[in-house]
A and B are shown apart, each in its own frame.
Chain A
Amino acid sequence: MRFAVTRACGGGGGRARAGALYIGGSTTAPIETPSLLISTRKGLPNFVSRDHLAALPTPDSLLLHVSPLHFLDCPSSKTISNIGGLHQMLGLHEHFFVAAPRDSLESLPESDGTNKLGASFETPCGRRLIKPSAYVEKIASLKPNLWASIADEVPAWVSGKRNKTSIDRTLRWLDECLALDPAGGKTMLGVVVGGSNIEERKHCAIEVATRNVSGFWIGGFGLGENVEERPALLNAVTDNLPEEKARFISGLSLPEEVLQGVASGIDLFDSTYIYHLTLGGFALIFPFEILDHNNLDFQLDDTVGDRTKINLRATIYRKDISPIVANCSCFTCQNHTRAYINHLLNVHEMLAHILLEIHNTHHYLGFFRAMREAIKGGKFDLFRRTFVESRRIHLTSAVLCS
């Protein structure tokens, strides 16, 4: 795996950077960053089947997050190995899998249960203690393109002592994973923790940076820390990591959080935003080409919800025969109407979620692409401010009108 920074913003853009991640062979096109990791359940998207996944924009949609914890009970490591690993088992030969245990949905770090032997997670199969050796064994059978070491992620409110312990364990387990890795760290991502303590964050980042890993997975965010404190904590990490290695993060899901992460120099995001939107019946509509037309005239329109998304369960969509977003090239918008999806949601049909996950993924990938264009054009700070302001103004108007 190789990573190269193609454009660093500096100045007003802060630490934001555009990059290229070379995961496949030398002939495959790189994944441009900042980029999204698509969430999966047992390696496949929740609702989008392989043919529809292939129709999403590439190479953006080739990056998938996978949690080895989804495969704790079945298939057995032996069977997975016999089949040939993730790519073979899932029939996704062109895709790239980034493995990390936490999926921010159902496989959640459970810091009370974590001890010196391993990290504890709440999973659909109950509470499980994951030891580094067992974890590496699972990874060896799955053969993901990249994988994060096992870490002790703690929520923001733990004591200083517990926080320090989490760093010690995380570093120890990183070294264990490295020692057990036949590839010697070539596909490994070292996990950086440190909770809500700036000094500890810095210390952990410096330590992990000395290890022979190919990139970094920044853990412990999205676990109750103060959103305003976050930039300082993120910067404490990124300022002490080498520029030329990729930085992954989980727990930053919303567009604003992603923008925050990008501003601090994060490159790749594992986000559950699409999943939550889809289950809730929401479809993304926010315009992301916001630098093309300076649309500062934010009138309140009569769509239910904000300008980010529409709630397709709402009765106003019963007869709306327009697509979710005009001119969207996704399968859902090219083939179906808001009225039809409204009906599917009302009668609890799975097709609603399939169509929504396709559109929401397509749309969120478009957001990331617009962000990359902004960075490459030296306009990331403007992009970020415009985006955030557009949502604030709408909310303010809503308050004033009520």
Chain B
Amino acid sequence: MGCSRSAVVDRSEGEAFSVSFLKMALKFEVLGKFNRARAARLALPHFVCQTPLFMPVGTQGTIKGLTNNQLEEIGCQIILGNTYHLALRPGAELVDDLGGLHKFMNWKRALLTDSGGFQMVSLLHLADITEQGVTFQSPVDAKPMLLTPEESIQIQNKIGADIIMALDDVVKTTITGPRIEEAMYRTVRWIDRCIAAHKRPDEQNLFGIVQGGLDPVLRDICVRGLVDRNLPGYAIGGLSGGEDKDSFWRVVAQCTAALPEDKPRYVMGVGYPLDIVVCSALGADMYDCVYPTRTARFGTALIPEGLLKLKNRAMANDERPIDPTCLCMVCRNYTRAYLHCVVTKDPMGSQLVSYHNLSYMMRLSKDLHTSIVKGQFPEFVQGFLRVQFPKGDIPEWVCNAMEVAGIDISTCCAP
């Protein structure tokens, strides 16, 4: 392979590395715990956040249909921007020239950008991964192009988000075989290239991403390799791609147990409210997903009981708000009957349900944080599960995960 360093960093060598990478642009302070779950204060350059938290995805520099003041109103702390999309339009140079993405969007709170790799692999034809980087066909003129770890970091430096993600070799969890091992080791090699390329460590926090598929041995090697680099934070990647829930939670549990206590842990691509509650119980802090806004555009609202399909004919005469317990602008002013008329038909329908769904996710984040701080986390989890599963038919994977998390949900389960 021609590399002078071994793929797995030796402990003594690791220490030499870690001295030079103590620069961080965040402070992570745990305020409360229940077993593995923790509530924390995450101070970033642009905003002081409370975890656990959910990050809405603002792919192209906007959350679909909401204005900045509305996002602040509902309690949004960090927004995720997609590097691939932004580098295409309006372009990293332009964003840099205009003072960074915060200034461009006029978003005063925190931003996180992903590396661009995942989008490329999932969106583009003929995308391929080599040791150099991700090769792909430019969607603009079909020229062959290459995204290297160095370039991903360079672009993210220009965009200027509070948290930036290392370029990783991400493989779907549904794939088996030696490709997963190759991807894991490559991810660790690439992190060093990302670190070397990162020009703004005192303003932007580089998170490493743990890969390794569903193989505990590979995951463990990856965790140790990343932890040796003493990064400001860590993400658990490669999940939420169609794997079964039982495998999903076990990987999360393993990684959160192995990752350092004093650094934030971000599970990428999660997700459904139930998944967020389980992962938080297992010790994760940060989440992102397009789900709440995407499902809103199809007329589906998130409620404590689960999902409310507003297009359903039964909604046509339902005079209740989406969620009687929700205090958001939409639930205080509109009925299911009215929303039934506008969803999927008028832009306003999309806006209103997106607003509610994101409010729901912000409320969930806040409830997770507050209940842990107040020492009421088990009660919160029990309450959450009881409302979602009134018949007590809690899925087995949730029961297993809660057992590992040390949370007694026997009162919520059917006998």
Contact = CB atoms under 8 A, between A and B. Distances in A.
A51 B335 CA distance: 17
A308 interface: no
Interface string A338-351: 01101110110111
Contacts of A399: none
A41 interface: yes
Nearest to A73: B341
B65 A351 contact: yes
B64 interface: yes
A91 B351 CA distance: 16
B60 A335 contact: no
Contacts of A351: 62, 64-67
Given A124-B345, A351-B65, 12 more contacts: A45-B348, A49-B351, A51-B69, A75-B316, A76-B317, A83-B337, A83-B338, A91-B332, A91-B334, A337-B104, A337-B106, A355-B67
B347 A350 contact: yes
Nearest to A353: B347
A349 to B, nearest CB: 5
A52 interface: yes
Contacts of A74: 316, 337, 340-341
Interface residues of A, number: 43
Interface of B: 60-62, 64-70, 85, 89-90, 94, 97-98, 104-106, 316-317, 319, 329, 332-335, 337-338, 340-342, 345-348, 350-352, 355
A354 B67 contact: yes
Contacts of B340: 74-75
A50 B345 CA distance: 18
A71 B347 CA distance: 16
A42 interface: yes
B346 A42 contact: yes
Contact of A350 (B65, B317, B335): B65
A46 interface: yes
Given A49-B351, A319-B97, A340 B67 contact: no
Contacts of A385: none
A355 B70 CA distance: 13
B347 A339 contact: no
B98 A50 contact: no
22 contacts: A42-B341, A42-B346, A44-B342, A45-B348, A50-B329, A75-B317, A75-B341, A76-B316, A83-B319, A83-B335, A83-B338, A90-B338, A124-B345, A337-B104, A340-B106, A343-B61, A343-B90, A346-B90, A350-B64, A351-B62, A354-B67, A354-B351
A331 B317 CA distance: 35
B64 A349 contact: yes
Contacts of B106: 335-337, 340
B14 to A, nearest CB: 42
A357 B39 CA distance: 41
A335 B332 CA distance: 26
A356 to B, nearest CB: 12
A368 B341 CA distance: 33
A344 B62 contact: yes
Nearest to A82: B319
Nearest to B88: A347
Contact of A339 (B66, B98, B316, B335): B98
Contacts of A49: 70, 329, 348, 351-352, 355
Interface in A299-346: 318-319, 321, 331, 335-337, 339-340, 342-344, 346
Contacts of A51: 69-70, 329
**10 closest pairs, A vs B, by CB?**
A91-B333, A347-B60, A75-B337, A343-B90, A351-B62, A74-B341, A79-B317, A350-B65, A349-B62, A79-B337
Contacts of B69: 51, 331, 335
A342 to B, nearest CB: 8
A223 interface: no
A79 B341 CA distance: 12
A49 B342 CA distance: 13
Interface in A34-79: 41-42, 44-47, 49-52, 71, 73-76, 78-79
Given A47-B348, A351-B67, A354-B67, A346 B89 contact: yes
User: Which of A41, A51, A346, A351 has the most chain B CB atoms inside 10 A of its CB?
Assistant: A351
A89 B338 contact: yes
A339 B104 contact: yes
A337 B347 CA distance: 23
User: Which of B62, B64, B329, B334 has the most chain A CB atoms inside 10 A of its CB?
Assistant: B62
Given A44-B348, A343-B89, A343-B90, A50 B316 contact: no
User: Which of B106, B329, B348, B351 has the most chain A CB atoms inside 10 A of its CB?
Assistant: B348
B119 to A, nearest CB: 14
B342 A42 contact: yes
Nearest to B333: A91
Contacts of A45: 348
B67 A318 contact: no
User: Which of A91, A339, A350 has the most chain B CB atoms inside 10 A of its CB?
Assistant: A350
Contact of B338 (A52, A75, A336, A353): A75
A51 B332 CA distance: 12
Contacts of B342: 42, 44
Contacts of B335: 83, 89
Contacts of A75: 316-317, 337-338, 340-341
B289 to A, nearest CB: 19
A354 to B, nearest CB: 7
A336 B316 CA distance: 38
Nearest to B348: A44
A402 B383 CA distance: 72
User: Which of A73, A90, A91, A319 has the most chain B CB atoms inside 10 A of its CB?
Assistant: A91
Interface in A1-59: 41-42, 44-47, 49-52
Contacts of A73: 341
Given A335-B68, A336-B106, A350 B350 contact: yes
B89 A79 contact: no
Contacts of B345: 124
Contacts of A50: 329, 333
A41 B316 contact: no
A124 B345 CA distance: 10
B90 A318 contact: yes
A198 B97 CA distance: 61
Nearest to B352: A49
Interface string A246-268: 00000000000000000000000
